[in-house]
């Protein structure tokens, strides 16, 4: 009976020890890989001209992230950037995209992009990516840009999301538009003359005479 009780106590202490050890490992792993780590990326930029410096780079990054719909409250960019190296020739920065004021869907899209880049052989070898390439992959890539900014991926999806007027608000014949050399018809959402936040436009460009009703749209 005493032997059985001793075995139970030994098993209890073993289980308790293992539980504490596993909990400690889990906590350590959480500290090592916080959620924000998935949105951190190191980017390198060469100062090709004398006019480029830390201040101009920060200004450029502020514009860049603003174009990607980051809210960027005052002082937010400085908190998101960690300067790893900054010389007369180049800068190496670590950017935490979770601190730039991106929406949750935007962070999901950025996480997917960042993790794909960081898993590449080139990034793992260099531990950084060229800043220009990162800009091209996000701002200049339609699919990535739409995912980050929440823009509708197709024209039909955009059109179906709003209630547009049946009659065009602007009809511009050939030569009257400063945007296009052809004819242009512009539609506006209903009831948004004072509600600027929900206002949207559709512009149709094409050939034919608008006044005579022979206009045919070829582009949107």
Q: Which of 80-94, 113-127, 204-218 has the highest mean pLDDT?
A: 113-127
- Determine the average pLDDT of the residues in 103-116: 95
Above 50 in pLDDT, residue 94?
Answer: yes
Ranges of beta strands (E only) in the chain are 40-46, 81-86, 90-96, 129-130, 170-172, 183-188, 201-207, 216-219
DSSP 116-156: HHHTSHHHHHHS-EEHHHHHHHHTS-HHHHHHHHT--SSHH
- Any idea which of 113-117, 166-170, 211-215 has the lowest mean pLDDT? 211-215
By percentage, how much of the chain surpasses pLDDT 70? 78
- Give the integer Cα–Cα distance in Å for 179 and 24: 63
| 21-79 pLDDT per residue, tens | 444 444 444 444 455 688 999 999 988 877 778 888 999 999 999 999 999 888 899 99
Length of the chain: 220
Q: Are strands 201-207 and 216-219 parallel, antiparallel or unpaired?
A: antiparallel
pLDDT at residue 193 in the model: 67
Structural domain boundaries in the chain: 36-149, 156-219
**Six-digit token pair at 83?**
């300067």
**pLDDT surpasses 60 at 19:** no
Evaluated on CA atoms 90, 91, 97, 101, the torsion sign reads negative
Triad 190, 195, 196: Cα angle to 5° = 105
Phi and psi angles of residue 40, each rounded to the nearest 5 degrees, phi first: -100, 140
Q: Mean pLDDT for the chain?
A: 80
Confidence (pTM): 0.67
């Amino acid at each position: 009976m005493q032997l059985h009780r001793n075995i139970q106590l030994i098993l209890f202490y073993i289980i308790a020890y293992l539980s504490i050890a596993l909990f400690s490992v889990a906590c350590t792993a959480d500290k090592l890989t916080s959620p924000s780590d998935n949105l951190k990326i190191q980017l390198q930029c060469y100062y090709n001209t004398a006019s480029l410096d830390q201040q101009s780079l920060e200004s450029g990054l502020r514009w860049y992230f603003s174009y990607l719909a980051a809210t960027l409250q005052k002082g937010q960019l400085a908190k998101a950037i960690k300067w790893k190296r900054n010389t007369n020739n180049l800068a190496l920065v670590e950017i935490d995209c979770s601190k730039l004021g991106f929406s949750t869907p935007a962070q999901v899209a950025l996480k997917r992009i960042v993790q794909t880049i960081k898993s590449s052989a080139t990034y793992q070898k260099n531990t950084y990516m060229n800043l220009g390439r990162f800009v091209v992959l996000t701002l200049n890539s339609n699919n990535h840009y739409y995912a980050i900014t929440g823009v509708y991926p197709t024209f039909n999806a955009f059109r179906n999301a709003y209630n547009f007027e049946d009659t065009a608000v602007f009809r511009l014949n050939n030569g009257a538009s400063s945007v296009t050399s052809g004819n242009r018809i512009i539609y506006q959402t209903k009831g948004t003359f004072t509600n600027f936040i929900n206002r949207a436009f559709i512009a149709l460009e094409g050939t034919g005479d608008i006044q005579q009703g022979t206009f045919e749209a070829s582009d949107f």
